[in-house]
Amino acid sequence: MSAVDDLFARLKAEGQKALMPFVTAGDPDVNFTASLIESLASRGCHICEVGIPYSDPIADGPVIQASYTRALDKHITLSAILEMLGKTAPQVSMPLVTMVSYAIVYRHGLQEYVRDAKAAGVAGLIVPDLPVEESDKLSGVCAAADLSLIQLVTPTTSPERTKRIVETSTGFLYYVSVVGITGERTTLPDELVDNVGRLREQTDLPICIGFGISRPEHVRMLAPVADGLIVGSAIVRQMAECEEKSADAVRGQIETYVGELLAALND
């Protein structure tokens, strides 16, 4: 079992749900990323998704795309990110998973990426541009290393592909709440709760919902049907303010924002 499996088994036993913030590695620099991860863990977040910047991101909206561009413009490297995670992971109790393009994994080498990620304390991979039909090799490498390979299901995924994704995913299922790209939204689809309920009938894996979640009312609406909620753009948008404010000030306001979401999760 990976650390992701252990986390969700514990939360289920305790009747709790997970809050999963997303942060871009290297925006504005790896030192800030490390300190933010530590702050999120100390605030009570349960698991953290760390985005590996990529020049052609899949499904990421303008906020996260801009964040990736800022990091790449400062010449962030995979080795620097893994080195930072290797120092940070032992300092926090929550598992860390990387959101990473398959192009990066392939270029680094499947065995090598999994080996280096594992050595850096990473507990799982989310690879949004890896089709389930082509995931067997990476799935096998991850399984051998006890790393979760977390795959995505969308509202338009066919029943046949959903079945295969459910059968090959480990750790948790990432349910994409809306058709389209990431980003903060005022409202979420009315059919979202029913969609997740139908998915629940097909798997015992934890289901975490992402895309568009940004408000306490979203958390209250989805917590009864989800095992975890993923919040990305609303956090990354605040990270961009490091260009105008001090790192301490931005980190503090993100802590306050996350505290509001955690309070809603426990309502």
Spatial CA neighbour of 150 closest among 74, 190, 189, 95: 95
Annotation marks residue 167 as catalytic: no
H or E element: which one contains 141?
A: helix 136-144
Instruction: Scan for tokens 């790393």, then name that residue.
Output: 147
Catalytically annotated residue among 49, 116, 184, 227: 49
Pairing of strands 228-231, 207-210: parallel
Helix (H, G, I), strand (E, B) or coil at 177: coil
Instruction: Scan for tokens 């605030």, then name that residue.
Output: 43
Catalytically annotated residue among 60, 116, 184, 227: 60
DSSP symbol at 180: S
Measured CA to CA, the distance from residue 109 to residue 103 in angstroms comes to: 10
Measured CA to CA, the distance from residue 67 to residue 58 in angstroms comes to: 14
H or E element: which one contains 78?
A: helix 78-88
Measured CA to CA, the distance from residue 54 to residue 14 in angstroms comes to: 37
Annotation marks residue 49 as catalytic: yes
Point out the residues that are catalytic.
Answer: 49, 60
